[in-house]
Chain A
Amino acid sequence: MSSTNNYILGVYDDEDEVLHAVSEVKSKGIKIEEVYTPFPIHGLDTALGHARTRLPIAAFMFGCLGLVCAQALINYTMVFDWPMIIGGKDFFALPDWIPITFEGTVLFTAFGLVTTFCISNDLYPGKKPEILDLRITDDRFVMAINVDKNKKSAADIKKALKDSGAVEVNVK
């Protein structure tokens, strides 16, 4: 969020109050930009109307990729490139390869998932965070409303926030 935007911040001190306030403010026809909280609040994303994340799909895809890569590596080395008779078994000794295939699947899922998570949220080492209120990571729940994107006047928005139980209303 750039500083040229005109934000009104409703500051709450309780997770259930902010969750309640979201539906209350929305029912008055005010568009909420985002809510910032010190810890996850279940149901807040659906109350805000955020679409369900597709991260599980990404994780599944990475898992499949890991499985394929592990199998490809083992098959290439053990069957095609340098086959060896070990314990009189087939070159293609699939049951013996289950442990490493499993580990490969988990490894790719974990790293692929976390990388996707970071990219989708634009998180990376050393990123300068856009902090609206320093207490967000401590004990305050902040509802950010962009005045330019709303039809209602700033005064109306401030009143709606106060009515919904905000302990402070700030402008940024």
Chain B
Amino acid sequence: MSHVVSPIREKLVTGGKSYHDVTHDICKQVEGEPTKEWKWAFGISCIIFAYGAYCLFYTWWQGIGVWGLNKTVGWAWDITNFVWWVGIGHAGTLISAVLLLFRQKWRTSINRSAEAMTIFAVLCAASFILAHMGRPWLAHWALPLPNAFGSLWVNFNSPLVWDVFAISTYLSVSLLFWYMGLVPDLATIRDRATTKASKFWYGLFSLGWTGSAKTWARYEYMSLILAGISTPLVLSVHTIVSMDFATSVIPGWHTTIFPPYFVAGAIFSGFAMVQTLLLITRVVFHLEDYITIEHIEMMNIVITITGSIVGIAYLTEFFIAWYSGVEYESYAFINRATGPYWWAYWMMMTCNVISPQLFWAKSIRTNLMVSFFLSIVVNVGMWFERFVIIVTSLHRDYIPSSWAMFSPTMYDIGDYIFSFGLFFTLFFLFAKFLPVVNMAEVKSVMKGVSTSYPAKKVKASTKTDE
């Protein structure tokens, strides 16, 4: 039964769409020939991917000596990029799981592409984990597999092993959640398919879905349980990533604020990346009626809230560094703000703490160009946050003779470019071959949230809404 929605709520589907219009509008890009814009965008991302793949191959071939790391700064762009991508990979499951539990209807238009983005971002993150191992062909040593050394097992007390389990669980559960969400929509495409190839492929992956009431009832329960277990999972992943740092004894890392601070930062950067991609997708695929200003505004509100939490965390770190009375800790933070990497610190502060505060003005948070620009600014800031945490905490070692600076080589940069190539290539493939909006979910909330829904239907629904 359709839920009652307050009439003062902004509409989430505009243009007076019927159910069939939803199917048609979303299936259009899957069924039609790729557009010229798509071909260009895909071509460019393939070139970026190819260049990045060369750099990554060279890194693997030569070893990580080709990076700009030195004896003092042993982690730099590799782990910065890893944490950055994992952070970005938090928004999708957060949108589909947490917002499902909170019954936020605006999630329905954006959860599909946000989840896809999550999966691709986690794959990008995984590429840095593999690369930073130095000998990626021995990556399976991080798993508790019986081996010829004893068996000598992995150390389950180590946060790095927790991370292996957290990331791989997160990736596989997110993939599963995303795929199960796709099944009803794949069946829609299957039933509309005209070519033999699409009948076969969409038929294969739609699992013989028919949409019977019994299946839907179970499906709803399944989605709810998956959302219920994905919610703590999302929070656990970045918590564990933060423990990679927090359980060490490096000043600037060894802080108890890290888990909530990292999780807030992850949601912050993830929503910003979703915003960037949605603003492009809605224009390229003409989805303005599904991804409305209301959606953009909601996203901006979440960005402002999480950005403010991150800002408070930055200030708390400083306060505690002073209040603890630990010299090393105090120095680490003064060095961040005023040392040789001051520009990275203030870049982070400006982009992450000050820029999202602009969204308090309604005219700014409903402006598409400004939202697009600020969403990129936020992710630049979040990259610098990780760079600041990692490099400035390491570069001043305990002995001044060990002090060092880090500067990236072309392979540091090239491997970062690889992850962009991978991310966008996968995203464009997704946008072409799979429905970018969850049709079934959008249809299920249309009554009440859609503009000019036929009057007859509203009457019918009031009849049954006791």
Contacts and interface: CB of A to CB of B under 8 A. Distances in A.
Interface of A: 14-17, 19-20, 34-45, 48, 50, 53, 55-56, 59, 63, 73-74, 77-78, 81-82, 84, 86-87, 89, 93, 96-97, 99-100, 102-104, 106-107, 109-111, 113-114, 117-118, 120-132, 134-139, 165
Nearest to A22: B213
B217 A100 contact: no
Contacts of A81: 151, 153
A126 B204 contact: yes
B440 A41 contact: no
B18 interface: yes
Nearest to A99: B162
Nearest to B237: A103
Contacts of A97: 156-157
Contacts of A53: 217-218, 221
B209 A39 contact: no
Given A39-B216, A45-B214, A99-B162, 18 more contacts: A34-B214, A35-B212, A37-B211, A39-B184, A44-B216, A50-B214, A78-B153, A104-B169, A106-B230, A117-B219, A126-B204, A128-B203, A129-B206, A129-B208, A137-B209, A138-B188, A139-B18, A139-B19
Interface string B47-65: 0000000000000000000
B28 to A, nearest CB: 13
Contacts of A36: 210-213
Contact of A117 (B144, B161, B166, B218): B218
Nearest to B445: A39
A40 B176 contact: no
Contact of B218 (A84, A89, A121): A121
Contacts of A123: 183, 207-209, 215
Contacts of B157: 78, 86-87, 89, 93, 96-97
The interface centre, meaning the residue of A38, A48, A73, A135 with most chain B CB atoms within 10 A of its CB, is A38
A106 B1 CA distance: 31
Contacts of B43: none
Given A136-B210, A136-B211, A86 B155 contact: yes
B2 interface: yes
Contact of B440 (A39, A107, A110, A127): A39
A80 to B, nearest CB: 11
B192 A117 contact: no
Nearest to A133: B191
B349 to A, nearest CB: 31
Contacts of B208: 122-124, 126-129
B232 interface: yes
Given A36-B210, A82-B151, A113 B165 contact: no
Given A44-B213, A134-B191, A137-B211, A15 B447 contact: yes
Interface in B168-204: 169, 172-173, 176-177, 180, 183-184, 187-188, 190-192, 203-204
A117 B165 contact: no
B443 interface: yes
Contacts of A136: 191, 210-211
Contacts of A122: 208
Contacts of B338: none
A35 B211 CA distance: 8
Contact of A16 (B188, B232, B457): B457
Contact of A73 (B144, B206, B464): B144
B441 interface: yes
A114 B223 CA distance: 9
Contacts of A104: 165, 169
Interface in B125-161: 144, 150-157, 159, 161
A106 B173 contact: yes
A166 to B, nearest CB: 13
B23 interface: yes
A102 B461 CA distance: 43
Contacts of B225: 55-56, 59, 109, 113
